[in-house]
Every structure is written in structure tokens, then in C-alpha cells.
A = this chain, B = another copy of it.
């Protein structure tokens, strides 16, 4: 049997209430406080968090539900969320949904059973639709994938704007046949597609969009197919980091040069982005800000459960590198 608060109380010659108050910085005389602290040190007592949570009805736990922690954006996000959470004395439960609504449903049930204080969630498109009507027994902040401002708070990149920026950039370096490659599971992809359409239209460019599973392999396969046609594009925009890698692989397979034959650009800046090929042009997402803002929205929501839902959009930053350098006959060095 482990040491409980009773043992500490007995040893210090006080009631359990006093021991509890020492932990919660309640009113305790310096003398008793010291006796209790000695007893804690002597016994090696550690409070039982399950008991504490049960009685206090505060789980001090937040859920984080993403498609796959291995996706760089989510990796970075989880790190920020955990830092912020631990800083305010909360724990994080991480769930990988693999873009499956079934798993999302299962994990939502788990979140309920854990009585989480709140949930930070990048939902699939399917769940996002259902969320519009349904209420959950805990506050939710959507990240990365927001949809229209509904009943839940959300914080997302300005995807429309960001994608338009990429299109304009490719246009500025002289590309006119720019295709877009988008994921088929997230609302993010939809927003980026719309931005792509708007920008190509406003520039009077042709547009052609492809939707595939959000993986390097699927992207590579699709691009190989697209580029096997006679009328080759001269620019590609990929809607995620992994898909961008797929595009690069396809270019290698096709022995096409970047940026001379095809300029390519995408999303998310990573340590290795400047080292792949001639350096990859990307929109950098402010992951740190996104994560912190999500936590802020969540805490605000806890304070004011009835306040209207907020949708926060953050802007991305274009980082131009060799993969979209103007063609000069010479492969440029990467640019920061």
C-alpha cells in the first residue's frame, strides 16, 4: 500500500485537511507547515492525482488530437501546446487520428471519460461538418483546420491569402502553367484550393487542381501522371510539406530540373527545407503563435463559456529559395 495523505498527517500530528492545505497553499501556520513538510520529505509522499481529480472535479488535462504527430506541423504544434500546458500545471493527452473519423469518434469518447478541461483539435473534414451541429461536453479549439466560424473557437493560417501569395510569386518569376496539388482530407486543402483559384483567375492564368491523400507517395504518383501528358506545367504548388517532398521526388524521377524546368513551392518551413534540392520555397506557418493562440482561446473560453466563438487567422511568411529562383541559366544558391 502506498503512502497516503493519512500517513503524512499522522506522522506530522495534524489532520489530513492541514496536509491538503499545505499542498494548496491554504492557511496554515508556519509551524505546522514545517512539520508537515518534514513528514512529506520523510515519507516520500506523493499526492494521488486520480483522487485529487475525482474530488476536485478538475482534470487539469487537455486533449490534443491531430492526424499524425509525425507530420512536421503537428510535431511542432504538439511541442508548443505541451510547453504551454505544463507551464500552467496541465497535462496533455495526445491522439493520432490518421485522418479517420472513426478514430476521432473513439478518441472523443476517451476525452469525455478523462473529463478533459478542453480539446485542441485538427479535425478531418467529415468531423468538421458534424461539429457544426453537435455540441461537446468540453470546450474545443480547432487548429489548422477551421471551416467557417461556427460554434467553436479556431485558429488557422490565412490559407487563402498564403496560397495566393505563392501563385503570385510563381507568376512573378514568369510561370504561367501552375498546377495545384491538394490533400483530400482537410478543410485546409479546400481553403488553399480556393486561394489558388482566386489568384490564378485574377492573374488570368489557367488553373488545374489535383486532390490526393496527404502523403509523399500519393503526391509523387499524381505528379508523375500529370507530367506524363504532353502539355507540361512549369510550376507546382503543393498543399503540404509531405506532398512537396513527393513533388521533389517526382521531379528527380522525371529528370526535370528545378527551377529551370519546373518551379515548385509549398507549405511549412523545416530545418531541411533549405537543403533539399536548390532549397524549397515555402510559406512558413507561425506554429508557435498558432499553438499559443489556441491555448489562449481555450483559457478564455473556460473563463467565458457563453462568449461568442472566435476565429483567429494568422498570416504566413513567404520564404523564397532556389526552387523558385528566376531562370537565369544558373542554379542559384539558397536564399534566406
Contacts and interface: CB of A to CB of B under 8 A. Distances in A.
A334 to B, nearest CB: 7
A51 B54 contact: yes
A137 B48 CA distance: 13
Given A46-B113, A49-B114, A248-B275, 12 more contacts: A48-B115, A50-B50, A50-B51, A50-B54, A69-B75, A69-B79, A70-B75, A75-B75, A91-B114, A92-B94, A272-B276, A276-B276
A188 to B, nearest CB: 20
Contact of A76 (B2, B70, B86, B110): B70
A216 interface: yes
Interface string A266-282: 00001110111100000
A93 interface: yes
**Copies of this chain, whole number:** 2
A83 interface: yes
Interface string A21-44: 000000000000000000000000
A221 interface: no
A51 B39 CA distance: 27
Interface in A4-30: none
Interface string A82-114: 110010000111111000000000000110111
